[in-house]
């Protein structure tokens, strides 16, 4: 297989489709022919054909795959290409710069809008109507459906018609392809949005693997349920037609003391199932962006649906605490936002994980909304032994200078605190020019951690 010539599309989280780059070239050639013919037909130049529909569209299905739809109609292909061409082969649209010599101005029927720096032609709805409908009014109306909010172009975040001025015709709006679709089309990769005020979520990853996770058996069993759901969701819902009874989403609540592996587990669930995990920090959102919150959250949920992400709401305490108080107007506003968020979480058809350190505030009605409520305990001495063994580099322990068993049984530390001890020891080994760790240094690191937690020894 010639990899240079292929792009991989992550279709369904786990499924990969192989697409030949060449397909796009074929579409561009087809589009140019259509454009040429539509202009000739409109100006009644001599030509053999009577309609653009006589030029068959490439019947390859790659473009539809990338648009996450089973197929594309002739018109959809043209509109989609029209939105993409300014980004990949802008000169093709130069045809539309011909002047209407009767009036010494551009042709109204071509539409088009002016960019700030781009000197080429940028299409509007009118441009699509010119190519596909010409003077045919009925066809023009039909075309409007492609730009509807119910159409998959809008729903799958592929393209929109934008900037329609007040009182101006709808088709005068610019046709804009989304960065998300363009990235997928040109590189085959998923567009991974960056954290910003309008997108208050960050992708979290981990170099660790499932084998590094150390938790009591019963907790692992509960987490396996989530894995099973992700792997078998389609069978469970579709095959047995349980969609009337079971909501398609899966909501999990992780609670427990700091540093016990809640974030790590959520991240590993994504890694194991080839899904991106996006972490939304609720404490930050709700306090900082009052008013904007709903819009920003909606943005995250909308993107998450299309992309098969796991949504991870960290520090979810903000959701429970404020629900019942109604103090000043800020509180009421926050309550509204929380109600909105809970509704979105409940309706979300994918996997949502909420994490918190507190459980006391979670009322029963709230807990009922979750399919998995999992407690992450502090590790007991056996688990601490496992954790130390996995965390301490072999080079540090192979000479037998440290008694991990006794350290594990003596000091009650979370996995997170242990990672801090390891980091501290590594630093000191370097700065003190030691060759490896010894018991004294480990004690020192552990003491520092316990001191932080208020457990002085
Ligand atoms: N159960 C565990 N198994 C393996 N490693 C762990 C475990 N718990 C914690 N760790 C280590 O500690 C680090 C921090 O843990 P993590 O961030 O998952 O804790 P948390 O429960 O999310 O804490 P917080 O409540 O403070 O957010 C992990 O990246 C991992 O290296
Ligand atoms: Mg965490």
Average pLDDT, the chain: 85
Residues 265 and 292 in one domain: yes
State which residues form the domain around 205: 201-375
- What are 393-423's pLDDT values in tens digits? 998 888 878 899 999 999 999 999 999 999 9
- The token pair at 380 is 């007991």
Confidence of residue 17 (pLDDT cuts 50, 70, 90): very low
Mutate to test the pocket of ligand 1, among 264, 280, 424 (most ligand atoms within 8 A of CB): 264
User: Residue 354's domain is classified under what CATH number?
Assistant: 3.40.50.300
Residues 280 and 395 in one domain: no
- What's the CA-to-centroid distance between 367 and ligand 2, angstroms? 20
- What are 278-321's pLDDT values in tens digits? 998 776 666 555 566 677 777 788 878 777 899 999 888 766 65
Pocket lining for ligand 1, CB < 6 angstroms: 212-215, 258-264, 357, 376, 387, 415-416, 419
- What's the CA-to-centroid distance between 139 and ligand 2, angstroms? 55
Percent of the chain topping pLDDT 70: 86
Residues 346 and 300 in one domain: yes
- Give the total number of structural domains in the chain: 3
Residues 111 and 255 in one domain: no
Q: Does the pLDDT of residue 246 top 90, yes or no?
A: no
Residue 195 maps to a domain? no
Confidence of residue 5 (pLDDT cuts 50, 70, 90): very low
Residues 273 and 421 in one domain: no
State how far the Cα of 382 lies from the Cα of 404, in Å rounded to an integer. Answer: 11
Ligand approaching nearest to the C-alpha of 386? 1
User: Domain ends where: 187, 218, 241?
Assistant: 187
- What are 48-89's pLDDT values in tens digits? 899 999 999 998 888 998 888 889 999 999 999 999 999 999
State how far the Cα of 79 lies from the Cα of 128, in Å rounded to an integer. Answer: 6
Residues 221 and 137 in one domain: no
In sequence order, the β-bridge partners of residue 196 are: 199
H-state helical runs in 21-151: 22-42, 62-66, 74-88, 125-133, 137-144
- What's the CA-to-centroid distance between 212 and ligand 1, angstroms? 11
User: Domain ends where: 147, 164, 187?
Assistant: 187
Ligand approaching nearest to the C-alpha of 258? 1
DSSP symbols for 168-231: S-GGGSEEEE-HHHHHHHHHSSPP-PPPBTTB-EEEE--S--GGG----HHHHHHHHHHHHHHH
Q: Does the pLDDT of residue 184 top 90, yes or no?
A: no
Q: How far is CA 179 from CA 187, 276, 296, in A?
A: 12, 18, 18
Nearest to 112 by CA among 102, 129, 125: 125
Supply the residue whose CA is at minimum distance from atom 12 of ligand 1: 416
pLDDT value, residue 3:
35
In sequence order, the β-bridge partners of residue 103 are: none
Confidence of residue 47 (pLDDT cuts 50, 70, 90): confident
User: Residue 434's domain is classified under what CATH number?
Assistant: 1.10.8.60
Residues 83 and 209 in one domain: no
User: Domain ends where: 375, 395, 428?
Assistant: 375
Residues 288 and 229 in one domain: yes
DSSP symbols for 304-346: HHHHTPEEEEESTHHHHHTTS---SHHHHHHHHHHHHHHHHHH
The residue-averaged pLDDT of 379-389 equals 97
3-state secondary structure of 139: helix
pLDDT value, residue 234:
78
State how far the Cα of 351 lies from the Cα of 308, in Å rounded to an integer. Answer: 8
Supply the residue whose CA is at minimum distance from atom 16 of ligand 1: 261
């Amino acid at each position: 297989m010639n990899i240079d010539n292929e792009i991989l599309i992550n279709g369904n989280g786990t499924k990969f489709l192989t697409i030949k780059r060449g397909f796009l070239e074929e579409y561009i050639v087809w589009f140019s022919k259509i454009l040429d013919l539509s202009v000739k037909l409109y100006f009644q130049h001599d030509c053999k054909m009577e309609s653009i529909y006589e030029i068959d569209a490439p019947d390859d299905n790659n473009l539809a795959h990338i648009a996450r739809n089973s197929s594309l109609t002739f018109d959809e292909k043209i509109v989609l290409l029209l939105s993409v061409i300014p980004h990949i082969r802008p000169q093709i649209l130069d045809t539309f710069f011909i002047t209407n010599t009767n009036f010494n101005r551009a042709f109204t029927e071509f539409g088009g809008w002016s960019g700030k720096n781009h000197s080429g032609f940028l299409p509007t709805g009118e441009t699509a109507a010119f190519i596909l409908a010409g003077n045919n009014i009925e066809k023009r109306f039909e075309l409007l459906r492609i730009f509807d909010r119910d159409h998959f172009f809008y729903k799958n975040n592929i393209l929109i018609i934008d900037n329609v001025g007040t009182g101006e015709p709808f088709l005068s709006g610019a046709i804009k392809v989304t960065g998300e679709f363009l990235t997928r089309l040109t590189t085959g990769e998923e567009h991974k949005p960056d954290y910003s005020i309008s997108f208050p979520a960050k992708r979290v990853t981990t170099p660790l693997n499932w084998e590094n996770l150390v938790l009591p058996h019963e907790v692992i069993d509960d987490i396996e349920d989530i894995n099973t759901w992700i792997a078998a969701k389609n069978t469970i819902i579709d095959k047995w037609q349980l969609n009337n009874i079971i909501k398609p989403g899966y909501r999990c609540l992780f609670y427990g003391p700091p540093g016990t592996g809640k974030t790590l587990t959520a991240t590993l669930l994504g890694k194991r199932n080839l899904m991106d995990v996006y972490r939304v920090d609720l404490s930050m959102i709700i306090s900082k962006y009052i008013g904007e919150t709903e819009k920003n959250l909606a943005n995250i949920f909308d993107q998450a649906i299309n992309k098969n992400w796991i949504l991870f709401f960290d520090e979810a305490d903000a959701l429970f605490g404020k629900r019942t108080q109604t103090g000043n107007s800020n509180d009421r506003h926050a309550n509204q936002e929380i109600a909105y968020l809970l509704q979105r979480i409940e309706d979300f058809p994918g996997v949502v994980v909420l994490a918190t350190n507190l459980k006391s505030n979670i009322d029963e009605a709230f807990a009922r909304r979750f399919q998995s409520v999992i407690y992450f305990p502090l590790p007991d001495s056996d688990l601490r032994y496992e954790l130390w063994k996995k965390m301490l580099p072999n080079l540090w322990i192979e000479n037998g200078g440290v008694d991990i068993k006794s350290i594990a049984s003596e000091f009650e530390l979370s996995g997170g605190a242990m990672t801090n001890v390891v980091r501290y020891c590594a630093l000191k080994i370097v700065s003190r020019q030691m060759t490896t760790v010894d018991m004294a240094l480990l004690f020192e690191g552990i003491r520092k951690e316990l001191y932080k937690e208020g457990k002085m020894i």
